[in-house]
Structures are given as C-alpha cells and as structure tokens.
A = this chain, B = another copy of it.
Amino acid sequence: MAKNLTTRSEDYSKWYNDLVIRADLAENSGVRGCMVIKPYGYAIWEKMQAELDRMFKETGHQNAYFPLFIPISYFSKEASHVDGFAKECAIVTHYRLKNADDGSGVVVDPEAKLEEELIVRPTSETIIWYTFRKWVQSYRDLPLLINQWANVVRWEMRPRLFLRTTEFLWQEGHTAHATKDEAIAEAELMLNIYTKFVEEFMAVPVIKGIKTDSERFAGALETYCIEALMQDGKALQAGTSHYLGQNFAKAFDVKFTDKEGKRDYVWATSWGVSTRLIGALIMTHSDDNGLVLPPKLAPDQVVIIPIYRNEEQLADVSKVAEQLMTELRSKGIRVKFDNRDTHKPGWKFNEYEFKGVPVRIAIGPKDVENGTVEIARRDTLTKELVPIEDAINKIVALMTEIQENLYNRAAQYRAENTTEVSGYEQFKKVLDTKGGFILAHWDGTNETEELIKNETKATIRCIPLDDENKPGSCMVTGKPSARKVLFAKAY
C-alpha cells in the first residue's frame, strides 16, 4: 500500500482527493473552485481529446470556436433553457482596471461599466444558435455538424477536483438538421460514440439510457446519457447527448429552405463530455497503491528502470534498455527510460506504481548476464522474469491484456453491485447496505421520483436503452410500470 495514502475503505472521498493531488494530476488553485490541471493529468486529457476528436471527425464533424462571453439577453431567449439552467454563472460587468489611488496596485475602474453584462459561458447553445442563424439558409447547408473544445464556467459551491469544478474543460457538439429523424439519429450516434470511447479507451463499462423529465437538460426534448458505477457504489454520468427539437431554432429564428422551397425551423442536438471523465477513470480503476491507468490512455505505457551500482553496469543496462525502447516505439508503444541519477530504483518503483504506469520493466546487471528482464503489471501488481527475446511480444500483448482486464474487472464489479429489487423496503435496504445500481419499477411520475429522491437520496440515473422491457408495478405506488429503471446515488 502506498505510504500515507488514505485507503478507499477508510474514506473513499479523501482517498480520491489525496490520490489526485499526490499523483500530480491536479490541484486546487488560488481561485475558489478552479483547479490547476498538472502536466500528468493534462497528458491524460490530451489522450482523451485526441481519440474523441478523431471519432468526431470520422463522423463528419468539424471543430470551430465561439466566444467565451455571452450577452445576458441571449439567455432569456429560450424559455425552458433559462428556467431550467443553473444560475451560478460568472458575470463580467466591467472592462478596465486602473491604478489604485494609494499606489497599492490595481482596482476596477468604475467608469468602465458594460452596458450589457456578459456571462462567461456555462454552455454555448445560445451564442452558437445566434451564430447558426447566419450559417443556415438552405438544405444545402445542412446537416451542420459543429464541435467546440473549450473551457466553461459554472459556479460551484462544493467543488471537487475533476468531478465538480467552477471552470472545466470540455467539448460541446452542436448540430442542425433538416429533419427530426436526422436529429434524433445524430443524438443517438453521439451517445454511441461516447459509449465506444468510454468503454474501449477508458475501460469503463456504461449503461446507455435516457433521462427522466426532471433530469433532462434545460431546453431538450430528450437527454440521452451514459452512466458508470464507481467503486464506492455511486453512479457517475459520463456523457450526455441531447435531442433539442426545434426549441433553439425557434428561439434564435434559424430556418432553412428545403428542396421544395418550403421554409422550416431546423432540428437540433447538442452533446458533451468533460474533464469529469478523468474523475470517472480514477474512481473506476485505481486502488490503495495509487492510480491505475488503462494502456490506451496512459501517457507512459511502459517505464524502464535501470538497476546499477556503477557506471559500467549502467552502460550495460542502458544498452539493453535502449534496444528495447527502440523496438517498443516502433510498435507504437509509449515508453520512458528513467535513468535519472537523482532518485534510487526503489523510489522510482513507488513513483510509477503510484502514477499507474501499466507496465514497469526493471533491468539489472544480473538480467544483462542472464538475458532476462523483469516485467511488472500495475493492474495485478504481479511481476515475472522474461527472456529478453520474448520481452517485446510479451509487452505488446500486455497492452491489450491489461486494457481488457481493467474493463472486465470493472464490469464484474458492476455486475456484483447491480441489484434488481421489487419492493421499496428492499430498495432502501440495498441502498443503505450495498449501494450500487438498483433496477426497480417506477410509475413514470415526477412525484414518485421526487419522493424517492427525498427519502433516499437515490435518483433515477436513466431509463436504460436495453431490451429488458418487462412491465411490472411501481415499487412505491404499485401503479403500472413499463420497465425497470436504473436508480443510484450519484456524483
């Protein structure tokens, strides 16, 4: 167990926070609720971005960039958006500083007050739809498939690194279509892309579903989501995709002329994932020894550590290490050779274990003599001596093996922590003792959903999009239910 790391069983929330900080992923800044993403954490985000961006582009989406600031009046244009959207926003009211009279530094210049206040974007539907009006004239301009990588700000009273921060990084897709069906297909396509990314790259299994009325995005007609289960039995929403109907098109007057010359409002979607995914990645795989990263997203997939007592030994070991590095790199594996003389091998072993590097290779003089290397896996914490001629194949195979093992382990944990219940008493008991995902019948009303939430703090994470559509009766009211829905306490 890593020195001084709080264990998960002691205090899951403290374990998470300590881990994020000690693994050099992120830290709190001097600005309340805003984090600094440190190089190691940012490198993981870059890997995520690269894969998602590739998937977006392969499906015809283009990146663009829209202003950080949104005039306050734009927010009032779409009624349900303004009603439903959280009001915790950063508001710019002035545009100039001046030197303080007492020479102590700078102060706000009261004469530089804006005529209309600007909101730092909490999401960009309004400013983007204001812009789309100019971009869409005819069916030839559709579909309009736009994505933006950006920072957004939502004032957080109880911030937590990655999971809930005042400023966070994300991508937001915004699309316009000629028909309702196309828009719905787009929202579903993006949900599938998110699912593929989260499952195949993050090795985090998710449940696809749709949100209930009360949990739907402000301004959407349907919110699709993917829900993951964390190690403490709480759910985390890993991505959402919204079918927006014609709401924003009507609010911002975005019409197009179809092939027959008829004018109609366009149909819309929006969808996003954020740096919150890094929180999900950590809370799915990591352990009491530190971070565990899936090979596909690990900034370093393999680290080689030389063991030596003198320069001559280092030279021998380095020769083997460099040969290995070259071959691994030619196979597209990200490998690092840590030959710093400022730290001892034991320190390095701990360091890379803590930072979740999937594979560690140690090479000492004995290994050079015997033609072996020691290969250690982070996921299982096992190690073995491997003949040098087998090392490359072994390591290449481990990349897949570790990736799959992490996914399977998480899927098994989820299976063990998903409970189908029939009665409300059983529901409450499972929630108190075991937590996790709970499948139960619900009568489809806001009232029952609200009652359950108030009494148990569990919410309906989604109405799953699987084929298990067996009807029954609501665990609370006994009224008819079309199918069981997914409950959990959530992040």
Q: Which residues of A contact B (CB under 8 A)?
A: 27, 29-31, 34-39, 42-43, 45-46, 62-77, 82-83, 87-100, 104-109, 117-120, 127, 130-131, 134, 140, 146, 150-151, 153, 155, 167, 169, 342
Contacts of A35 in B (CB 8 A): 67
30 A-B pairs with CB atoms under 8 Å apart are A29-B130, A29-B131, A30-B127, A30-B130, A30-B131, A31-B67, A31-B69, A34-B67, A34-B69, A36-B64, A39-B64, A42-B63, A68-B151, A69-B167, A72-B106, A72-B107, A75-B97, A76-B100, A77-B105, A87-B97, A87-B98, A87-B109, A89-B95, A90-B92, A91-B92, A91-B95, A91-B108, A92-B120, A93-B93, A108-B117
Report whether B108 and A93 are in contact in the complex, using a CB–CB cutoff of 8 Å: yes
Contacts of A92 in B (CB 8 A): 90-93, 120
Interface of A (DSSP majority class): mixed
Q: Which of B34, B72, B83 contacts A68 (CB 8 A)?
A: B34
Contacts of A31 in B (CB 8 A): 67, 69-71, 118, 127
| Chain B nearest CB, measured from A478 CB (Å) | 38
Report the Cα distance A42→B35, complex, angstroms: 27
Identity of the chain B residue whose Cβ is nearest the Cβ of A343 in the assembled complex: B140
Identity of the chain B residue whose Cβ is nearest the Cβ of A89 in the assembled complex: B97
Report the Cα distance A33→B74, complex, angstroms: 17
Contacts of A134 in B (CB 8 A): 27
Contacts of A150 in B (CB 8 A): 151
| Chain B nearest CB, measured from A357 CB (Å) | 16
Contacts of A104 in B (CB 8 A): 76
Report the Cα distance A436→B219, complex, angstroms: 54
Q: Which of B27, B74, B107, B155 contacts A30 (CB 8 A)?
A: B74
Q: Which of B42, B65, B72, B82 contacts A65 (CB 8 A)?
A: B42
Report whether B105 and A95 are in contact in the complex, using a CB–CB cutoff of 8 Å: no
Report the Cα distance A37→B27, complex, angstroms: 31
Report the Cα distance A461→B293, complex, angstroms: 49
Task: Add 17 more A-B contacts to A29-B127, A31-B118, A68-B153 (CB < 8 A).
Answer: A31-B71, A36-B64, A38-B64, A39-B146, A43-B62, A69-B90, A72-B97, A72-B106, A72-B107, A73-B105, A76-B104, A82-B106, A87-B98, A90-B94, A97-B119, A108-B117, A150-B151
Identity of the chain B residue whose Cβ is nearest the Cβ of A37 in the assembled complex: B65
Contacts of A73 in B (CB 8 A): 105
Contacts of A117 in B (CB 8 A): 108
Report the Cα distance A36→B66, complex, angstroms: 5
Report the Cα distance A71→B34, complex, angstroms: 12
Contacts of A77 in B (CB 8 A): 105
Report whether A95 and B106 are in contact in the complex, using a CB–CB cutoff of 8 Å: no
Report the Cα distance A63→B37, complex, angstroms: 9
Contacts of A106 in B (CB 8 A): 72, 75-76, 82, 87
Q: Sorted from nearest, which 3 A-B pairs have the closest CB atoms?
A: A76-B105, A34-B67, A39-B62
Report whether B95 and A90 are in contact in the complex, using a CB–CB cutoff of 8 Å: yes
Report whether B96 and A93 are in contact in the complex, using a CB–CB cutoff of 8 Å: no
Identity of the chain B residue whose Cβ is nearest the Cβ of A157 in the assembled complex: B95
